[in-house]
Amino acid sequence: MRCVLLCSLLCSHVALADDLDALALADRSVADEVTATAQRWQLQWQQDAPGPASASLQLQAEQVLAPAWRGVLADRLALNGARDNALQEAYLGWQPQADWALDLGRINQRSGVALDFNPTDFFRDAGQRGPLSAAPARARGQRLGVVMLRGQHWWQGGAMTLLYAPQLGDGPTTAPWSPDVGRSNRYQRWQWLYSRQLAAGVTPQWSLSGQTGQAPLAGVSLSVLAGNAWTLYGAASGGRQPSLLDQATQTAASAWHSQWQLGGSFSSSRKLTLTVEYQYQGRAVADSQWRTLGRASAAYLQLAAQQQLSPTRRGLFVYLNWQDVLLPSSEFNAMLRHDVLDHSQLRWLEWRYHFRRADLALAGQQSRGDAGSHYRAMMPGNRWQWSVTTFF
C-alpha cells in the first residue's frame, strides 16, 4: 500500500514537472508571420529508375475577382523535354446568392466517396497529360477538367448539381501548349447530382448521367460512420451500355451493365489508417472470356485504360497510411491492387518526409503475375522513384 502511494505521488510530481517544462517551452515559442495567399505553387523534381529525371511546376489559384465572381486556375507545366503544359482547370464562377451558383469553363468535376474506383465518377476518363502517379489521390489531381456549364443549388440538408459538357473535339493531341479539349470533351455529356440528408450522418448522393449515343446511367453513393474509428462506404451505377469489348470492336450492342464498390477505412490511435475496397466492373469481359478474348485484344486493353476501368470484373484495393512511422514528420504509404480473377498484383510503397517547405519521397512499384495478366501487362517489372517537392 505504501509503495502504491509512493508511486502515485512520484508520478504526479513527474507529471507536474512535465507540465511546467511544457509551459516554459510555450513561453519561448514564436509564431511565424503568415499571410493567406490565393495561389499555391509546387515545384517537383523526380528521378525514375529505370527512366529519365523530370521536373514540373504546378499552380493552383482561386481568386475573388469581384463581389459574387471568382476565378479558378490549375495548371501543370513539365519543365523538361517538350515543355508539355496541362491546363487542368480554368473557370469563372458566379454566385449571386449564398444558395446557388453558376460556373463556366474547364472544371475537374468529381463524384464518389471511394479512395480508388468510383462508379459514379462519370468524368474519370477525361484523361491526363504526362505520367500518372501511382498514388490514387495524386493521380486524380493530375487529370484534366472538362469544359462545361455547371449550376449548383444548396439548401439545409441537401444539394443539387446540373451540368452540361459539349463535344469540342474528336481525340487527344500532343501539341505541347494545346488546351487539349479534344481529349476531355470527346463526347457531349450531361449530369444531374442530388444529395439529401435522410438521417443524421446519412446523406446519399444520387446521380443520372448521359452522353450522346448512350442510355442514361443511374448511380448512388453513400458513406457512414461506424463507431469512432471506422467509416464504411459504397457506390453503384448501372444502365444500358455497350460492354468494353463490344465498344472496342465497334459492335453496336448494348445491355444492362452495373459497376459497384464497397469499402471501409479504419484508423488506429497509433496514427495508422487502413483502407480496403472491393470493386466490381460489369462492363469488363466475363471471367471465362478474359484469357481467351480480353487479354489478347490490344484494343480492349487500350480502351479500358483510356476509360480508367479495370479490364477484369473483380478487384481488391488496399491502402495503408502510417504517420510518424520512423521519424516525426514522416509518413509511410503502401498500396496493393489485386486482381481477383487472374491474381496479378500491383504493389507500391512510399516513404515521405515532410520538411517545413518541402517533401522528400522515395517510392517503389512492382507488378506480380503471369505474363499477359492484368497488372503485368500494365506495368512489367519493378520501378523506383525518388522526388523532391517544394511548396510555396
Distance CA 212, CA 144 (A): 20
CA distance 301 to 71: 38
192's CB contacts (< 8 A; 6+ apart) are 160, 161, 162, 207, 208, 209
Question: CB of 368: closest distance to another protein in angstroms?
Answer: 27
CB of 343 to another protein, least distance (A): 29
Q: Return the number of the residue (49 or 64) whose C-beta is nearest another protein.
A: 64
Nearer CB in complex with another protein: 3/23 = 23
Beta carbons within 10 angstroms of residue 186's beta carbon: 21
Phi-psi region of 127 (alpha: psi -120 to 50; beta: other; left: phi over 0): left
The H-or-E segment that residue 288 falls in is helix 287-289
- CB of residue 365 to another protein, shortest distance in Å: 19
C-alpha cell at 338: 489485386
For another protein, the closer of residues 226 and 298 by Cβ is: 226
Q: Minimum distance from CB of 61 to another protein (Å)?
A: 10
Query: Closer CB to another protein, residue 55 or residue 274?
Result: 274
CA pair distance 25, 253, nearest whole angstrom? 71
Q: 3-state DSSP call for residue 3?
A: helix
Closest contact distance (angstroms) between CB of 98 and another protein is: 4
Grid cell 470527346 in the structure block, residue: 186
- The torsion angles phi and psi of 63, rounded to 5 degrees, stand at -140, 130
Report the residue number, 36 or 371, with the smaller CB distance to another protein. 36
Q: Quick one: 225 or 296, whose CB is closer to another protein?
A: 225
Give min distance, CB of 226 to another protein, in A.
8
